[in-house]
Amino acid sequence: MTDQATGPDEVPPGKPTSASRTTLSHIMTNADTNLLGTVHGGVIMKLVDDAAGAVAGRHSGGPAVTASMDEMAFLEPVRVGDLVHVKAQVNWTGRTSMEVGVRVLAERWNESTPATQVGSAYLVFAAVDAEGKPRLVPPVLPETERDERRYQEAQIRRTHRLARRRAIMELRERRAAEGLDD
């Protein structure tokens, strides 16, 4: 799927951060609990992936698939009856991929106290066409100082992801050359 104004090899025009930012809200029930009686981390991770996927699809103008999730942090337990808000936005874009930052907040469904942050995550999505091949994404245009900070931090995370991948591949190649292939 390509934008009609651009060809398959032309970078689409940039989009501001606010164009695809979204919030997904969900009330936690007994069906969401783990053996400790709090909300299962996997339930929160699915909400994170859902919100991030919506943002990635909106920003890229079509299908986008989860390539990786990193730095998923659970800061506080989530309880049955909590209203969970998952806030997501594109932090950074490359040619065919984008980093989506997600904050998870929770508040009691029956209280008027402010929501507290209970988690955060960074996900990388790849934009794909109808055949599942990578396609170009519009550059993200940070609008605020906070957006600019997130963009810069995302570049650092990308550098670390690529360095980690490169180091692991080199180690595997060395081990294979020594006959230690696993």
Express each pLDDT in 17-26 by its tens digit.
Answer: 999 999 999 9
CB count within 10 Å of CB 29 equals: 12
Provide the 8-state DSSP code for 138.
Answer: P
Mean pLDDT across the stretch 23-49?
96
In a 3-state reduction of DSSP, which class is residue 15? strand
Q: Say if residue 41's pLDDT is above 90.
A: yes
Express each pLDDT in 114-130 by its tens digit.
Answer: 999 999 999 999 999 99
Domains in the chain: ranges and CATH: 15-178 (3.10.129.10)
How much is the pTM? 0.89
